[in-house]
Chain A
Amino acid sequence: MKLTVNIEKKCGDFSLKADFITDGEVFGLLGASGCGKSLTLKCIAGVEKPDRGRICLGETVLFDSDEKINIPARKRNVGYLFQDYALFPNMTVLQNIMCACKSEDKAREFVHRFYLSGKENLKPAALSGGEKQRTAIARMLAAEPELVMFDEPFSAVDSSLKAGLEREIRKVIKSCGGQALLVSHSRDEVHRLTDRIAVMEQGRIDVIQEKKSLFENPLTAAAARLSGWENISPVEAKEDGTLMASQWGISLPTCRCQNKGRAAFAAIRADSFEIAEDDDKEGITCIVGEIIDEIHRTGVEFIPAGGKGLMTASFPKGQPLPAAGQEFRLRIPQDKIKYFDR
């Protein structure tokens, strides 16, 4: 079912502007906390009212500021899985589900379907994290929504439980015809669960990309940052034809921005760096700040000599590395640097 969203909303200093269309896919909203992802979902669900714009689901207009249409949340048929599940603490599992459907038989069916048999008379406080999530999902689906939305579904969960809960959500999405909206700040989650991703920054949708292309070839600096590029710096063209990465304090050989515009940002992944040979003219001298022992690799935080900004490199375990405070030389393979015009 086609969802069209084009809304604006101001909340004090924060302003949200969201504009996207999604149909028959899992659509992700990826952004740092406070960027307006959840607010976007709340506007679609109808629990927040946009100042301007239009929201359509299928043939139904849910909201239109020009036509003064604002269907109340309870009639929108949009399922919303809240970040902390928002189970009613004063009700049992069964009563929670029965808030969404009037018939007890149907509620019991959902209890059974989500492996909650035996727990139906417990209150949420007595449930485990996974049971809480299943109750919330059962309750959401019992209302027979036309669209399901997940708001940071794993933020309240231990990482050891995450895999199981994720499987659950994938299953639910499949049973809903493969369409859903998912909000997350975690690129791993959106990578595993979504098809297409909108990158949000400061209340704006920065860019919308297919998942594969976002992670392989981000189109903007914000997309790069959120898809895991560790080093990003603004760049300025200098008279001698080189580019100055102002945050790192190193100059880069000119390179065309991929959009043929003037490059405004440069990005390097932490694992793109190589330790330079002593006679390598392209190497840059760096001072090691801290060595970080990660699970699969070793991270090195460093400052380029003469520069000021901290950069991050990472190397395979076992590679001999300088100690903290030492000088060493690094090479940045030119083809691994990515340039963005915004």
Chain B
Amino acid sequence: MVDYSPLWISLKVAAAATVITFFLGLMAAWLVLKMKRGRAVVDGLLSLPMVLPPTVVGFFLLMALGKNSFFGNMLRELGFEALFTWQGAVVAAAAVSFPIMYRTARGALEQVDENLINAGRTLGMSEGSIFLRIMIPLSRPGIAAAAILSFARALGEFGATIMLAGNIPGKTQTMSIAIYTAMQSGDRSKAYIWVAIVMAISFAVMLLMNVWNDRQSRLSGKRRSEG
């Protein structure tokens, strides 16, 4: 009988990480778009986890949240333990998927017609209200795509997760880690099962995104021809 806990852990971790990156990524995208100076540097720093090896991200997270870190101990006092917990896996997945959310959302927000934003300003709307009422609704398809992509990335996270949260079956062992463990212990058939499940979920996610994209472009195409 296969233990399905890696599936539930993976879904739980990826979902929680996506919620975190969704808000952080959107906020970061907005703040970076509003920056006048130093944009390239900040953008580079925020995007870094995307190009760094996940083990390096895991290393930094371990440094920041580990036993010898002031910040980590502070969180520990408050009851948050990242080492060898599923919450740690969430932090790792969020850190690695953050740049995808941030960059894709920024690309979508950049597409919003500058004139609409300026119109909002001349009408006396605050920057926050322009962001919430104009920019986000108008870049909804792009933001949705960003969330789906970062969910997929969080689901497949391996390197940073295993460094921070370890490989505890039933607790922090996600599907990617289960595949690795199965292969290590020579349990090929178990690895096959997990590979199949991961592929099915990933494919379903991409399919969902394509269907969504098609529907969006059909809708906007229809709107154009009406105008």
A residues near B (Cβ < 8 Å) are 42, 45-47, 72-76, 78-80, 82-84, 86, 88-91, 99-100, 125-126, 139-140, 143
Asked whether A99 lies within 8 Å of B122 as measured between CB atoms, the reply is no
Give the distance to chain B from A286, nearest Cβ to Cβ, in Å: 47
1/0 contact string of B189-227 vs chain A (CB within 8 Å): 000000000000000000000000000000000010011
- Can you name the residue of chain B whose Cβ is closest to the Cβ of A45? B122
B residues near A (Cβ < 8 Å) are 113, 115-116, 118-126, 133-134, 137-138, 223, 226-227
Asked whether A86 lies within 8 Å of B116 as measured between CB atoms, the reply is yes
What chain A residues lie within 8 Å of B133 (beta carbons)? 88, 91, 99
Give the distance to chain B from A66, nearest Cβ to Cβ, in Å: 20
Q: Is the interface of A mostly helix, strand, loop or mixed?
A: loop
Give the distance to chain B from A142, nearest Cβ to Cβ, in Å: 8
A-B contact pairs, 5 of them (CB 8 A): A45-B121, A75-B124, A78-B122, A86-B115, A86-B118
Could you tell me the distance between the alpha carbons of A46 and B119 in the complex, rounded to whole angstroms? 11
Asked whether B138 lies within 8 Å of A46 as measured between CB atoms, the reply is no
Asked whether A143 lies within 8 Å of B118 as measured between CB atoms, the reply is no
Asked whether A88 lies within 8 Å of B122 as measured between CB atoms, the reply is no
Asked whether A74 lies within 8 Å of B123 as measured between CB atoms, the reply is yes
Could you tell me the distance between the alpha carbons of A89 and B135 in the complex, rounded to whole angstroms? 11
Asked whether B134 lies within 8 Å of A86 as measured between CB atoms, the reply is no
Give the distance to chain A from B221, nearest Cβ to Cβ, in Å: 12
Could you tell me the distance between the alpha carbons of A82 and B116 in the complex, rounded to whole angstroms? 9
Asked whether A74 lies within 8 Å of B119 as measured between CB atoms, the reply is no
What chain A residues lie within 8 Å of B137 (beta carbons)? 90
Could you tell me the distance between the alpha carbons of A125 and B223 in the complex, rounded to whole angstroms? 7
- Can you name the residue of chain A whose Cβ is closest to the Cβ of B140? A90
Could you tell me the distance between the alpha carbons of A125 and B227 in the complex, rounded to whole angstroms? 6
A-B pairs, 3 with minimum CB distance: A86-B119, A73-B121, A47-B118
Give the distance to chain B from A57, nearest Cβ to Cβ, in Å: 13
For B138, give its contact among A79, A89, A125 (CB under 8 Å): A89
Asked whether B227 lies within 8 Å of A46 as measured between CB atoms, the reply is no
What chain B residues lie within 8 Å of A74 (beta carbons)? 121-126
Asked whether A80 lies within 8 Å of B124 as measured between CB atoms, the reply is no
For B120, give its contact among A78, A99, A140 (CB under 8 Å): A99
Could you tell me the distance between the alpha carbons of A139 and B116 in the complex, rounded to whole angstroms? 13
Give the distance to chain B from A143, nearest Cβ to Cβ, in Å: 5
- Can you name the residue of chain B whose Cβ is closest to the Cβ of A95? B133
Knowing A73-B118, A125-B223, A125-B226 are in contact, say whether A86-B113 is a contact too (CB < 8 A).
yes
Asked whether B123 lies within 8 Å of A143 as measured between CB atoms, the reply is yes
